[in-house]
Structure 1
Amino acid sequence: MPFRADILRDDHRRRERRAWIITAVAATIILLAGLIAGAFWRWAFHDLPSLPEDPETFWSIRREASATLLDRNGDVLDVRGPLYASSITLDDLPPHVINAFIAIEDRRFYEHDGVDYRSAGRAVLANLRAGATVQGGSTLTMQLVKNLILSPERSLRRKIQEMRLALALERQLSKTQILELYLNRVYLGAGAYGVEAASRRYFGRSASQLTLSEAALLAALPKAPSRLDPTTNIEAARERAAQVLQAMTEAEFITAEERDAALAAPAQLQPAAEQTLRDGALYGYIFDEALAQAEALIASRPADLVIRTTIDPELQGMAHSALNARLDEEGERENAGQAALVALANDGSIRALVGGRNYADSQFNRAVHAYRQPGSAFKPIVYAAAFEAGLSPFTAFYDEPIDLEGWSPRNFGGNYRGRVTLQEALRRSINTVAAQVGVEIGPEAVVDMAHRLGIETELPPLPALSLGAVEVNLLELTGAYSTIASDGIRRRPFLILAVTDSRGRVLYERPETEGSGERAIEANIAQTVSTLMQDVVISGTGQNARLADRPVAGKTGTSQDSRDAWFVGFSADYTAGVWVGNDDDTPTRDVTGGGLPARIWRDFMTLAHAELPARLLSAPAPRERTEREERLAAYYSSLSSAFAAELGEAAEP
């Protein structure tokens, strides 16, 4: 019996030792597993970024700064930075657009929870067999996480993080929210993000209007947006689009007949000349000005800025062409290296703005930021002040050598005509008369009139002001003429209609009340000046600005030594101003406002009015003189000139 007890005790001790060994081994294994799991967890997730709590953040996260310039109708003129468009919902899109992306990128999108394990398994096996990455296995949710949250690193660790965040995202957002985010944020080549931006980029219209073949082309691009960019590799993009159509057929989104019809009529890109991304030559100056104004109008700038302007792209193209064609033809001969042009509609909206000959060569905007002497182009302002003070177009002054407290203004060409009316003085741009008028009514009255009409620049109340011996910019002078054209109602020139972000959130919108304007001068005074300015074009210094089929009014201006030459005028539809000169302020070769600037103005206005019915100006036309009156005027003018010349000679020391 004792022997038996010893055996049992030994057996018990052995079992205890085995139990302890097993427990120790198990504990060691568990500990090692924990350590490995912890190490793996730290390796995989120690730098895992968190998802934004606010779903709205997904729309702006990782959005590069960009600005989109729109015309008056809301069409894209130019883009700086990536191209974003207004966000689009699933309800806005035809079903074949949504189905194209699901079919080729994630056919089980509505069945998985963010990770498609079946697809991922197939991808792993395919990659192992190929010895390279030939399949991705990423769902749309994983792609969204990769694009918006994670780094572009390609590794197993990054893929694990992608899967974990995709699972979390599917718990946070609905399938509809995820798909809308994906379709609005996916990069589709050529700087375009989202189906709306890409549709406008490649096809010139909204994604809501995409055909099946066009939808397939867009869905082809996420695989390799740079290599498959349709603007540089259309054949490769179409080959991939054919795969998309086949995938849609296999998923039973379309029939074989629909697939074959789409293959027979592949997507066509819009012509290069009509693509929404233009070079800076046409809209560079406008973009700079619109961006500066927009940033001044809003409290803080979002990453993506969409600026809707008043620009008419057809008029802008006409202005650019007219200005450059004339400079190419006459600029070198006339030693005139630069020009600028502004065109305003009757409501004050800027429809065209050319700040210089070539934006690529110089970004300085001469229409807005160059302050030059307008010369005689300032005289309509002086005469408006004179008529308000009680003078009339028939008030007479003597055109003769004068001395105004040591100031002796001279006429262009040095001739004098004796007794002339204000109408003739403006028509012939007589300096001595304008100087006398300015002194009689007082320079303060001229300054006041200039500011009321639209000159924003501070002006010194000096006698020389009446001859335009001050500096103004082209936009404000054109705006002042527009006030005259509008019978004395001032409507400040404006460029921006609205500023939004790409989701359509309004950051600024021009108030409708600003369109009514304010009365600057009485209508009869504005119309009197307008009538005299019509006479300038009919028979005065502005004859090169005549339009063949409609009346216009305007005034020439030339600064000292022909450094600046201007023509500003208006029809019943538009007011436009042209400046010609040199950036270094060197003289041109005797260019006057009635020469090269008037011809540029006429060329542009002829194009601008080609499709418009001829309309009369609100002001009456000047009365045409009879042949006898013309002969008598010429006779008395010659007598007066001779008499004035004799006076001048007698005054010589």
Structure 2
Amino acid sequence: MFRFAKPARNEGGLIHQLFVIIGMSVLSGALIAGLALPWVALLDKGAENSAAAIQDFPKKLRFKPLDERTRVLAADGSRLAVFYDENRTYATLDEISPKLTQALVAIEDARFYAHGALDVQGTLRALLVNQASNATIQGGSSITQQLVKLTLLENAATKAETRRAEAKSYARKFDELRYAVWVEQHLTKSEILEHYLNTAYFGDGAYGIQSAAHHYFSTTAQELTLSQSALLAGLVRNPTDYDPTNDRTAARNRRNTVIAKMLDLHVISTRQANKAAASRLGLDVREVSNGCLNSRAPFFCQYLQKYLLTSPALGKTVEERRLALYGGGLTIQTTWDPRFQRAADESVADHVYATDDVIGGIAMVEPGTGYVRALAQSRPMGRNEAVGETFENYVVPTKYGGTSGFQPGSTFKAFVLAAAIKQGFPLNKTIYSPGAITLRTDSFRTCGGKYLRSSEVHTYTNSTESGTMDLYSGTQNSVNTFFIQLEQKQTGLCAPWNLAKAMGVALDNPTNNRVPSFTLGVSDVSALEMAEAYATFAARGMHCASRPVTEITDRDGEVIPIEGSQCSRVLKRPYADAVNDILKGVMEPPDGFGADIAPNQQSAGKTGTTQENKAVWFVGYTPTLAAASFLAGVNSQNEPRGLIGKQLAGATLTDASGSGTAGPIWGDAMAAIQDLLPNRRFVRPDPSVVEGQVVSIPSFYGDNAADAANKLTELGFRPQISDSVNSSAPEGTVAYTSPSYQATTGETVQIFISTGYVPPPPT
């Protein structure tokens, strides 16, 4: 076994003087020919009397905050992901083992505590050895000079600045020396060491001693042993060649060189040196995943990343935000709950295989806060398309990196339902709803009281029940002709469209979205948007924008101000209570479509099936959690295709529906977490909302007909422009209404238009 002999003491007085004399000559010619400078001040800490003479010589070095990795935490405080450009966690000198600092000083700059900015002995020794061998065998830079170079590289903002910092020239060395003088004048030796140990690269992606200790040994910088310290200290000279993950022999030899140097300097005893040199490397390599791909919830992480890159709290520009995210040393507390994620993942995986030509997914949002608790989809994140992997996020909207979404089908009927209730339409008021109905497009009122201009005629049919329906039966049976008429005669297109937007659905294209078939769900949406919207019903009309973050702190633990929950009331509580009461029936036996998937507490929901069965949905909620699940057929280019005939979880689909195909994803996920949810009940609707209220009708004599219609809608009536009648009111304005004085909300009020002509009395 290799053993060290006891070191001899270096008397070195004469040799020291010789080095100084020769060094002065060499440096004068090789480094600063032609410059008359008091070099003694650079060489020895004792040369205080020369300081005044070089007052203008030092060059101030700017230390910008070092890049540190950002930690992303789950709602329970566990780690979700890490973002970094340089894998670094800052450690103060108190948090670093003295063995490490001793090892570093021994191998890199043994006279660190004795010399100033320039170690003449070390520099001269390197010059002589290198000159004798005609090669670069030894480096003569002090730790301070090395810190200067590392800092200049860290500060380099352009390729030109990087080239200057790495140039092999005396000019660069001279410039570094000027910075080093300033550093020695303004920082203590301990501060210099701390900066150096946090700036240095230790190989294999580890920046700074804390990350290096964690990466190579799964420990902290404070707990490093002598052997570990020697290995890490030996890496900074050449982190590639001595990387123990690539060449253990080279790493062991380098470690033992450091140990020998420590023994030679009497930092450790012979016994300590022999024991450390004989020990195994003891590697316990731990990789720190960077970004979302290998995180615990890749697609939630990706959504979070996109969300933060739009947040002004992290900077004015996208690039500033990216730098903060990847180098700011932030701690980001998220809304993500691993228990909910596990339930969502398992349910989706049970019902849809990654290689199916079908996309399945679910999003979970907490009512009253907008906290996104989980996002799951059938295709995992990755590049291997053969096993179904993708980087496409199918559950979030496009502004957060998602796809264009899928048509939601009859889940949009909830917006027309809520708009009608908001306008005063009684829950028990009926509309005859035949199996098919043909309507002109220009019979639908849009924004501003205007009607659509197209004279096209469309026929709408039912796929379920027909007959006389009220809001309960029309909704629970998802009767198309009921809702088309409710939209045509009561709500118009503007009110439900605006309400859906206020509840979190983007609807970025009014031309394509604000159409009669709006209630049938023809606008592409994401699962997250639908979960957010239905969470508004669960929160009794309070909409909270979905969000993945609750708090961000900087590297110093200071809270960075971010937008809190963005909540606003979009429905009065009695109206939301009425919607909940109606949608609750969807989940109740014996006839509710969602009765088979209901959890063990009160819930409400709505099914959705699109034309040609290209997508099926189930959006449901309890008072404390909303979730939207979907299945959508796609081809290899992710273009919508019908579900029928597709392979789904090992079987061929012969039928598809919101309750029977998408519903089980929702049901199984909710069943897995139902005991984690507070068991609360929905509030029963106010009788005045159920039956309607008697409301006074103001006089509209001489008013604009469109203005009158809008006012009547606000009061909860269904305005209808009727025939022209002779009247003293100006031509084209309102003559009168019928009823004229009062009516129950939800009733039709006829608006009669004046001809402007009053016939003379009969003679």
Whether TM-score is above 0.5 comes out as yes
Note if contact 1:535-1:553 (Cα within 8 Å) is conserved in structure 2.
Answer: yes
Deviations 1:591-646 (A, max 9, x none): 43334433333454455x28x54531341699xxxxxxxxxxxxxxxxxxxxxxxx
Match of 1:473 in 2: 526
Q: 1:504 to 1:614 in 2, by over 3 A?
A: closer
Note if contact 1:568-1:577 (Cα within 8 Å) is conserved in structure 2.
Answer: yes
Helix, strand or coil: the match of 1:348? coil
Q: 1:614 to 1:517 in 2, by over 3 A?
A: closer
Match of 1:81 in 2: 85
Deviations 1:33-89 (A, max 9, x none): 9999876779xxxxxxx98736344x36xx7xx98462344846143533344x443
Q: 1:104 to 1:537 in 2, by over 3 A?
A: farther
- Aligned-partner Cα distance in 2 for 1:602–1:490: 24
Helix, strand or coil: the match of 2:663? helix
Q: 1:438 to 1:91 in 2, by over 3 A?
A: farther
Q: 1 or 2, which has the higher helix percentage?
A: 1
1:376 pairs with 2:393: no
Q: 1:261 to 1:452 in 2, by over 3 A?
A: same
Match of 1:385 in 2: 419
Deviations 1:281-300 (A, max 9, x none): 82563365135313686224
- Aligned-partner Cα distance in 2 for 1:213–1:275: 27
The aligned amino acid for 2:467 is G
Q: 1:482 to 1:162 in 2, by over 3 A?
A: same
Note if contact 2:199-2:208 (Cα within 8 Å) is conserved in structure 1.
Answer: yes
- Aligned-partner Cα distance in 1 for 2:429–2:218: 59
Within 5 Å, which residues of 2 pair with 1:504-583? Answer: 508-511=560-563, 514-515=564-565, 517-539=567-589, 540-542=592-594, 545-547=597-599, 550-571=601-622, 573-581=624-632, 582=634, 583=638
- Aligned-partner Cα distance in 1 for 2:291–2:254: 24
* Count of aligned pairs between the two proteins: 565
Match of 1:329 in 2: 353
Within 5 Å, which residues of 2 pair with 1:145-544? Answer: 145-149=148-152, 151-153=165-167, 162-163=176-177, 165-198=179-212, 218-229=232-243, 269=284, 279=293, 282-283=298-299, 285-286=302-303, 288-294=305-311, 298-300=315-317, 301-302=319-320, 304-306=323-325, 308=332, 310-312=334-336, 314=338, 318=342, 321-322=345-346, 325-326=349-350, 329=353, 332=356, 335-336=357-358, 338-346=359-367, 347-354=369-376, 357-361=379-383, 362-366=390-394, 367-369=396-398, 370-391=404-425, 394-401=428-435, 402-405=437-440, 406-411=457-462, 414-443=463-492, 444-458=494-508, 459=510, 460-497=513-550, 508-511=560-563, 514-515=564-565, 517-539=567-589, 540-542=592-594
> RMSD in angstroms over aligned alpha carbons?
4.6
- Aligned-partner Cα distance in 2 for 1:70–1:455: 27
Helix, strand or coil: the match of 1:146? helix
Helix, strand or coil: the match of 1:183? helix
The alpha carbon displacement at 1:304 in A equals 3.2
Note if contact 1:204-1:270 (Cα within 8 Å) is conserved in structure 2.
Answer: yes
- Aligned-partner Cα distance in 2 for 1:491–1:164: 57
Match of residue 136, structure 1, among 139, 143, 166: 139
Note if contact 1:536-1:554 (Cα within 8 Å) is conserved in structure 2.
Answer: yes
Match of 1:112 in 2: 115
- Aligned-partner Cα distance in 2 for 1:472–1:37: 69
Deviations 1:12-39 (A, max 9, x none): xxxxxxxxxxxxxxxxxxxxx9999876
Note if contact 2:348-2:376 (Cα within 8 Å) is conserved in structure 1.
Answer: no
Note if contact 1:202-1:275 (Cα within 8 Å) is conserved in structure 2.
Answer: no
The alpha carbon displacement at 1:187 in A equals 1.3
Identity of aligned residues (%): 27
The aligned amino acid for 2:604 is A
Note if contact 1:84-1:304 (Cα within 8 Å) is conserved in structure 2.
Answer: no
Match of 2:46 in 1: none
- Aligned-partner Cα distance in 2 for 1:106–1:262: 21
Note if contact 2:341-2:375 (Cα within 8 Å) is conserved in structure 1.
Answer: no
Match of 2:641 in 1: 586
Note if contact 2:341-2:376 (Cα within 8 Å) is conserved in structure 1.
Answer: no
The aligned amino acid for 1:600 is I
Helix, strand or coil: the match of 2:309? helix
Helix, strand or coil: the match of 1:408? strand
- Aligned-partner Cα distance in 1 for 2:666–2:277: 50
- Aligned-partner Cα distance in 2 for 1:423–1:118: 92
The aligned amino acid for 1:342 is A
TM-score norm. by structure 1 comes to 0.71
Q: 1:206 to 1:408 in 2, by over 3 A?
A: farther
Note if contact 1:566-1:578 (Cα within 8 Å) is conserved in structure 2.
Answer: yes
The aligned amino acid for 1:617 is R
Note if contact 1:204-1:276 (Cα within 8 Å) is conserved in structure 2.
Answer: no
Helix, strand or coil: the match of 1:171? helix
Deviations 1:313-359 (A, max 9, x none): 73586378447625753863xx41x3444332342122334578344
Note if contact 2:361-2:629 (Cα within 8 Å) is conserved in structure 1.
Answer: yes
The aligned amino acid for 2:594 is G
- Aligned-partner Cα distance in 2 for 1:79–1:200: 16
Helix, strand or coil: the match of 2:641? coil
Q: Which runs of 5+ in 1 are unaligned?
A: 1-32, 43-49, 623-653
Note if contact 1:557-1:567 (Cα within 8 Å) is conserved in structure 2.
Answer: yes
The alpha carbon displacement at 1:497 in A equals 4.5
The alpha carbon displacement at 1:118 in A equals 3.6
Note if contact 2:212-2:232 (Cα within 8 Å) is conserved in structure 1.
Answer: yes
Deviates more, 1:375-384 or 1:591-600: 591-600
Deviates more, 1:378-387 or 1:132-141: 132-141
The alpha carbon displacement at 1:468 in A equals 2.0
Q: 1:107 to 1:591 in 2, by over 3 A?
A: farther
Note if contact 1:114-1:163 (Cα within 8 Å) is conserved in structure 2.
Answer: yes
Helix, strand or coil: the match of 2:459? coil
Q: 1:225 to 1:564 in 2, by over 3 A?
A: farther
Deviations 1:509-530 (A, max 9, x none): 224xx33833332334334433
Note if contact 2:84-2:291 (Cα within 8 Å) is conserved in structure 1.
Answer: no
The aligned amino acid for 1:584 is E
- Aligned-partner Cα distance in 1 for 2:666–2:502: 25
Note if contact 1:217-1:267 (Cα within 8 Å) is conserved in structure 2.
Answer: no
Q: 1:292 to 1:579 in 2, by over 3 A?
A: farther
TM-score norm. by structure 2 comes to 0.62
Match of 1:646 in 2: none
Note if contact 1:69-1:78 (Cα within 8 Å) is conserved in structure 2.
Answer: yes
Q: 1:236 to 1:387 in 2, by over 3 A?
A: farther
Note if contact 1:84-1:502 (Cα within 8 Å) is conserved in structure 2.
Answer: no
Helix, strand or coil: the match of 2:194? helix
The alpha carbon displacement at 1:105 in A equals 3.5
- Aligned-partner Cα distance in 2 for 1:558–1:357: 22
